[in-house]
Chains A and B, each alone.
Chain A
Amino acid sequence: MNNTLKYGIMFIGLVLLQALILNNIQFLGFINPYFYIYFILLLPSSVNRDLTLLLGFLLGLSLDVFCGSLGCHTFATTLVAYLKPYFQKVFGPREDYDVVIPSFRSFGVKEFLQYATILVFVHQFVYFFVEAFTFADILQVLMKAFCCSIFTILLIYIAEKLTYKR
């Protein structure tokens, strides 16, 4: 119950942070960090895959309601929620723990950053691709995704550093 509450607050907090503050950064006209995806990255391995999918879907949908881009965030976030358990297996600790909460400590700094980078880039590429909805601007989409991912990963790195307890 305690955990549910914690993740619930995190969900709402990240959606509000994204919608009200981060979406207004618009550095150089188009670069925004899409930090809210951090919620999916942090879900513990004990959460089953269907629930992860559902949470991803709801997370994207809440963002879409704020952004007016109905469907775009939802599509990208659901995809990340689907891929997340696979990448968690690849980059996560090899030993059989009961529950793994992805973090610098449990994964190791390098592994966690690799895990985050891949998922963040997939998320942002798919988001911009679906938003443009055409193959014609593929280079532009790639550039946007690349720039935004760098910012997002930077924020995730800072957030991890702040919560990293030795």
Chain B
Amino acid sequence: MRSLIRFLLKFKTLFFFIILEVLSLVMIVNCNQFQRVHFLSSSNIVVGSLYNFTSKISDYVSLGSVNQALVEESAELKRQNANLRSQIDRLRYDSTYTVRNDFATEKHFMFRTARVVHSFANLKDNYLTIDKGTSDGIRTGMGVVNEKGVVGIVCDVSGHFSIVMPILNSRAKINAKVASKSNVGTIMWNGHDARYAKLKEVPQYIPVEIGDTIKSSSNSAVFPEDIMIGTVTHIERLNNDFYSIDVKLSVDFRNIKYVDIIEFRLDDEMTELERKEETK
């Protein structure tokens, strides 16, 4: 017994070292990604408020580029507005036009803007923390975009913060298509460069060229159709049937300040709201 104690004492630093390393390994293995991220900023008041504070400071520094983005977006919206206006004018004089009664199947998307409190782009599985949570109506599974294109999907929500799983995460699976074609596949991140992602297993019968745009596809209720994801930079022939495409992402994940969260509202939700409004 005494020699055992002497042995332990002799190597006590080594044992202490091993215990600490095992402890950190247990943390790595036991905590899944969501718990880790949750532990991070959303639920942790100290870290959360610190990040909030610093991002407020850095907001002032980046006002110039945010302004630029807003100007570009408003120009784009003006262009769209003009297009729609001319369409409405055309329809007004078209007496043969009948209002199609497909309100029930029409998708309604609502946008909410949130500030990015904290983001990572250099890990294998990256996450963004944004400053809107359940109290602002955010739920898991909602799509997130910014003025440049698709950002990711909300994967965890607390009272005032949410965690977004961006394209730059090995678990993120976002449906994508080559512009003007139907559904093609899911966009995956290659794991190291924040500027590029891969679109795998594209069937060869779909014509793809370098420079084509990749957009969100129509068969999900998360994103509206035709939101920009990126442009094709490289096409690789995997075998006789499939391509693998390198996509340059349109969103700059290293410098992301504001995002829009998309809520997909089903029609029955809306009619219920209207009925409530009438009975008031």
- Number of contact residues on A: which range applies? 35 or more
Closest CB-CB distance, A112 to chain B, in whole Å? 24
Q: Is A49 an interface residue (CB 8 A)?
A: yes
Closest CB-CB distance, A56 to chain B, in whole Å? 8
Taken together as a complex, chains A and B put the C-alpha atoms of A2 and B271 apart, in Å, by 69
Residue of B nearest to A77 (CB): B24
A78 adjacent to B20 (CB under 8 Å): yes
Q: Is A150 an interface residue (CB 8 A)?
A: no
Which residues in chain B, 119-150, are within 8 Å of chain A measured between CB atoms?
120-124, 127
Residue of A nearest to B255 (CB): A26
Residues in B with CB closer than 8 Å to A26 are 121-122, 194, 254
Residue of B nearest to A82 (CB): B17
Which residues in chain B, 38-75, are within 8 Å of chain A measured between CB atoms?
39-41, 44, 47, 50-51, 54, 58
Interface of A: prevailing SS = helix
Residues in B with CB closer than 8 Å to A61 are 24
Residues in A with CB closer than 8 Å to B51 are 20
CB-CB contacts of A59-101 with B at 8 A, as 1s and 0s? Answer: 0110011111111101100110010000000000000000000
Q: Is A155 an interface residue (CB 8 A)?
A: no
Q: Is A132 an interface residue (CB 8 A)?
A: yes
* Residue of A23, A50, A68 with most chain B CB atoms under a 10 A cut-off: A68
Taken together as a complex, chains A and B put the C-alpha atoms of A70 and B193 apart, in Å, by 22
Instruction: Tally A-B pairs: CB < 8 A.
Output: 100
Closest CB-CB distance, A116 to chain B, in whole Å? 21
Q: Is A154 an interface residue (CB 8 A)?
A: no
Q: Is B212 an interface residue (CB 8 A)?
A: no
Which of A27-35, A37-45, A103-111, A117-125 lies at the binding interface?
Answer: A27-35
B194 adjacent to A74 (CB under 8 Å): no
Taken together as a complex, chains A and B put the C-alpha atoms of A78 and B47 apart, in Å, by 22
Taken together as a complex, chains A and B put the C-alpha atoms of A137 and B192 apart, in Å, by 10
Given A29-B122, A53-B16, are A20 and B40 also a contact pair (CB < 8 Å)? no
B194 adjacent to A65 (CB under 8 Å): no
Taken together as a complex, chains A and B put the C-alpha atoms of A32 and B254 apart, in Å, by 12
A30 adjacent to B194 (CB under 8 Å): yes
Taken together as a complex, chains A and B put the C-alpha atoms of A137 and B191 apart, in Å, by 9
Given A30-B121, A71-B25, A71-B31, are A49 and B40 also a contact pair (CB < 8 Å)? no
- Number of contact residues on B: which range applies? 35 or more
B39 adjacent to A30 (CB under 8 Å): no
Closest CB-CB distance, B118 to chain A, in whole Å? 9
B28 adjacent to A66 (CB under 8 Å): no
Closest CB-CB distance, A71 to chain B, in whole Å? 3
A50 adjacent to B25 (CB under 8 Å): no
Residues in B with CB closer than 8 Å to A23 are 120
Q: Is A11 an interface residue (CB 8 A)?
A: no
Residue of A nearest to B122 (CB): A30
A50 adjacent to B12 (CB under 8 Å): yes
Q: Is A114 an interface residue (CB 8 A)?
A: no
CB-CB contacts of A125-136 with B at 8 A, as 1s and 0s? Answer: 000001111000
Q: Is B115 an interface residue (CB 8 A)?
A: no
Closest CB-CB distance, A87 to chain B, in whole Å? 15
Taken together as a complex, chains A and B put the C-alpha atoms of A66 and B123 apart, in Å, by 14
* Residue of B12, B16, B17, B191 with most chain A CB atoms under a 10 A cut-off: B17
Can you identify 11 A-B contacts, CB atoms within 8 angstroms? Answer: A20-B51, A26-B121, A29-B253, A53-B20, A61-B24, A64-B27, A67-B120, A74-B27, A75-B24, A82-B13, A82-B17
Interface of A toward B, CB cutoff 8 Å: 16, 19-20, 23-24, 26, 29-32, 49-50, 53-54, 56-57, 60-61, 64-72, 74-75, 78-79, 82, 130-133, 137, 140, 144
